[in-house]
Structure 1
Amino acid sequence: MTTALRRLRNYIDGEFRDAADGRTTEVVNPATGEPYATAPLSGSTDVDAAMAAAEAAFPAWRDLIPAERQKVLLKIADRFEERAEDLIAAESENCGKPIALVRSEEIPPMVDQIRFFAGAARMLEGRSAGEYMDGFTSIIRREPVGVCAQVAPWNYPMMMAVWKFAPALAAGNTVVIKPSDTTPASTVLIADIIGSVLDELGHPRGVFNVVCGDRETGRLMVEHKVPAMASITGSVRAGMQVAESASKDLKRVHLELGGKAPVVVFEDTDIAKAVEDIATAGYFNAGQDCTAATRVLVQESIHDEFVAALAKAASETKTGAVDDEDVLYGPLNNANQLKQVKGFIERLPAHAKIEAGGEQVGEKGYFFAPTVVSGLKQDDEIVQHEVFGPVITVQSFTDEKQAVEWANGVEYALASSVWTKDHARAMRMSKVLDFGCVWINTHIPLVAEMPHGGFKKSGYGKDLSAYGFEDYTRIKHVMTSLDG
């Protein structure tokens, strides 16, 4: 007997709709490997409708005073708390994530981030008005950019949707967002929440729209004539394609792309504490995090002791079912990602050594064992490229100079960490590490008040913080004559 699949739909101009041409794609639960829903495979007609709705809603939303937009966002945050269990269930099914971890590690920061941007809406900053030429007064207006086309990833579909819509709406923009084709469920639920708040408070329905689909749908959104800005969190390849597409009509682009975070461990580090924290930061969310602590550089004098401790920590780290409160992470998100992670392991050079893990786990779903690989060289594929899985690599360095050279010697530049008791060394390293974030004796904490974003092929633009908020605004100079 076949179980009927749940039907997810687009959310356009306050209504849930199927794709105009009726096309759908199956959505698979990565914990089981079985489909549980269908979602629209949206085309140009659907994208046109969503963009038209967002464009029509923009003037009224733009012209609201910030306090009114703040009320909407605060109400959305309240509703997220009220419907937390629904969101948790949707995200767990979306991604196979452990329920307890979604409840403790995702819902609270998401609510906090929405409330942060609600406050940011009322704290726009700019140079003070003044006379910079005799007889004239200049003022600065900071305005919303317009309609924002946003593409969210599959590793944190719910939280990344928040990182995108919250600053955009707070600044006075309207939104058309596309979730990944593998994880649309939680974004569709967010549309239901936001739509109900907009209705209750009497605001235009087209302020927030969700269009489900694949890469082609995303391309249609980015190339559409209506959006003034395109924002994507995804792979380097996807980001480069978005930047190229957006360049055709000079759209603004906001890119948060891949990472290959170096974790530089010096010989004076408390090994036991460092291993515990690094293992958690490397394996959390199955390593599917652009900032994951998966590239460890450890000073040669403590290398063997560190590797042994890390391998033991890996063997004690558990992956498994969503309702098991003892697991640290769930499955990889999809069959292609499982294949990619396996490929990195299969192509390891002869000088590499698998210290722990290295294989798929279980008879169903896309689970992969916590893995440690040592004996690696700087130019090895697994060192240079993002695995995006629960695989931690370890290299041995001799001195601070070599550590910096190897840490910076990749195309990514999102996040990094330094582990040492030497304050001066920590300060030197934080200066020369070419990454958007440098953690010292920790790895992966984020707060709404501080920016998240990288350099080089990790993209440009910031998420979170006042800097992320300002990315969704434009600056206008207004000059008036004092002669009337």
Structure 2
Amino acid sequence: MSAAPTSGSPGTWRARSVRAAPPPRRRCAVADTDRLNHSDRHNHSARHNHIGGKEVPAASGATLPLIDPATALPHGTAPLSGPEDVDAACRAAEEAFPGWSSTTPAQRQVALLGIADALEREADALGAAEVTDTGKPRALFLADELPAIVDVLRYFGGAARNLPGAAAAEYTPGRTSVLRREPVGVCAQITPWNYPLMMAVWKVAPALAAGNTVVLKPSDTTPSSATLLARLAAEHLPPGVLNVVCGDRDTGRALVAHPHVRLVAVTGSVRAGQEIAGAAAADLKRLHLELGGNAPVLVHADADLDDAVDQLSSLAFYNAGQDCTAPTRILVARSVHDSFLARFADRAAQLLPGAPDDPHADFGPLANAAQLASVSGLLERLPDHAEIVTGGGPLDRRGYFHRATVVAGVRQEDEIVRSELFGPVVTVQPFADESEAFRLANGVPQGLAASVWTRDHDRVMRASRVLRTGVVWVNTHGTTVSEMPHGGVRHSGYGSDLSLTGLLDYTQVKHVML
């Protein structure tokens, strides 16, 4: 599927017709002429901004080095964008907004489906871009993450055509009220380094589906897949609809403050969310914040311990634990605590970190030197009553590799319990009864996700009511689907990614009375 500007007035746009037989939802062979030219693949050393449909360097010529986490060596550069670059991107998005917002949902669907097909077609190039920036295992990215990313684009392509709305009605004599749901305008989107492409698509897809235009700022350490996304999307979107500016925190600050921006969406730390919320308040910009997590896992005595150990040992260390929903705080009924801890620690000790193409690697390195130092610091500052059962520190090799680590004997007031770990580290705590389990689970500032492991249906219903999180999984953990919302409460932020709820977050309501 593809899209092109019409030959009419500037800003008008139409979608070309949909192919009769779309490709299957898997990686498929295509002719070399349909792929990115080999010499132009995204493993070149310099990334570029994408502004108004063009690939451009920063106006100042400044760049940031990109470091391969698996080797700790530079592999390329990205623009260090300043206020001039941010202004150009926001102006391009503002100019593109009237044309894009006036397209039909069907036209936006065709564009999103075309982008999804392009990502599927360019799986290898996207994999190369993602794993060089993040160090994550290539096979896991291609098998687990990319299909889910493509599905999000396809879901929002359909959701664009199914916005809910109230029926027209007369609420006062002689007047008919109608509700219009309209796009917000230019959306600034700031994405993190743990899932660079996935988080970019989670933000971009609903914003575009609702008729908004976007200026996306990826993390300064992992911009490669976002810039490739923009290049592929340019084949299906009018210029200026999707812009990407690379840079550091000052770039993000300039973007949040720009007067053309009407909504700011960020996935990041609590600190970043607090700063952005304060800055956005000056211009009354709408906010969509998906912030830190510190997910509690409640393992009750009647749970299937073998299944819990199997699932949680895999999920806790996936992506080196750099996941806001990772099961980092495992709370276990005291009667089965020692048995669970021994099994879980034994399984964690068998997990191996490794480079992206290491067939034996269970997870990759931490994404950058700062995160390795953060995780190491938490372990170095452990109180005397805490015990490292297995793991405990970085590997003695080049790169930002850290052992899978399990810590027991912790207390609720400990830093390692109250902090978002964002690394391959898990704490295990006992609880005496259900009431204490709920108190420990809710006893941290974050509230993104939780899971409950039990065979007791009544306990599940109580937990789903009492746990103060945006999602509660039962006898599973970490699964997301495009149709269901993903978001948190308290210090984990507000607003939802995914689902119709996520789409509605990128719209505003207008009352029209006739």
Q: Place the TM-score, normalised by the shorter chain, in its bin.
A: over 0.9
Q: Give the counterpart of 1:209 among 229, 237, 243.
A: 243
Amino acid aligned to 1:404:
F
Cα RMSD, aligned residues only: 0.9
Counterpart Cα distance in 2 of 1:421 and 1:209? 49
For the 8 Å contact 1:5–1:35, the answer to whether it is kept is no
Aligned residues: 472
Aligned to 1:281: 315
> Post-superposition shift, 1:391?
0.3
> Post-superposition shift, 1:362?
3.9
Counterpart of 1:131 in 2: which secondary structure?
strand
Taking the TM superposition and a 5 Å limit, the aligned residue runs for 1:373-412 are 373-412=407-446
Aligned to 1:243: 277
Taking the TM superposition and a 5 Å limit, the aligned residue runs for 1:72-471 are 72-198=111-237, 204-471=238-505
Aligned to 2:34: none
Aligned to 1:201: none
TM-score (norm 2): 0.91
Counterpart Cα distance in 1 of 2:295 and 2:359? 28
Q: Percent sequence identity over matched residues?
A: 56
Counterpart Cα distance in 1 of 2:489 and 2:424? 24
Amino acid aligned to 1:43:
G
Counterpart of 2:358 in 1: which secondary structure?
coil
Matched, 1:53 2:92: yes
Query: Mean Cα displacement is larger for which, 131-140 or 161-170?
Result: 131-140
What is the CA deviation profile of residues 123-155 of structure 1, one whole-angstrom value per residue up to 9, with x for unaligned ones? 111111111111111111000000000001000
Q: Which stretches of structure 1, 4 residues or more, deviate above 6 A after TM superposition?
A: none
Counterpart Cα distance in 1 of 2:296 and 2:116? 34
Counterpart Cα distance in 1 of 2:154 and 2:356? 28
Aligned to 1:36: 75
Give the unaligned 5+ runs of structure 2.
1-42
> Post-superposition shift, 1:271?
1.0
Counterpart Cα distance in 2 of 1:212 and 1:11? 9
Aligned to 2:28: none
Aligned to 2:7: none
Distance 1:462 1:381, change over 3 A: same
Amino acid aligned to 2:503:
F
> Post-superposition shift, 1:325?
2.9
Counterpart Cα distance in 2 of 1:113 and 1:439? 21
> Post-superposition shift, 1:361?
1.4
Counterpart of 1:360 in 2: which secondary structure?
coil
Counterpart Cα distance in 2 of 1:430 and 1:279? 23
Query: Mean Cα displacement is larger for which, 321-330 or 66-75?
Result: 321-330
> Post-superposition shift, 1:328?
2.0
Counterpart Cα distance in 2 of 1:161 and 1:366? 24
Amino acid aligned to 2:350:
E
Give the unaligned 5+ runs of structure 1.
199-203
TM-score (norm 1): 0.97
Amino acid aligned to 2:137:
P
> Post-superposition shift, 1:5?
7.4
> Post-superposition shift, 1:216?
0.4
Counterpart Cα distance in 2 of 1:208 and 1:327? 36
Counterpart Cα distance in 1 of 2:58 and 2:396? 36
Counterpart Cα distance in 2 of 1:30 and 1:306? 33
> Post-superposition shift, 1:327?
2.0
Counterpart Cα distance in 2 of 1:5 and 1:356? 40
Counterpart of 1:313 in 2: which secondary structure?
helix
Aligned to 2:56: 17
For the 8 Å contact 1:5–1:38, the answer to whether it is kept is no
Counterpart Cα distance in 2 of 1:191 and 1:59? 20
Counterpart Cα distance in 1 of 2:103 and 2:227? 26
What is the CA deviation profile of residues 192-248 of structure 1, one whole-angstrom value per residue up to 9, with x for unaligned ones? 1001222xxxxx300010000000000000000001100100000000011000000
Counterpart Cα distance in 2 of 1:133 and 1:65? 31
Counterpart Cα distance in 2 of 1:161 and 1:5? 21
Distance 1:7 1:282, change over 3 A: same
Aligned to 1:27: 66
> Post-superposition shift, 1:363?
1.0
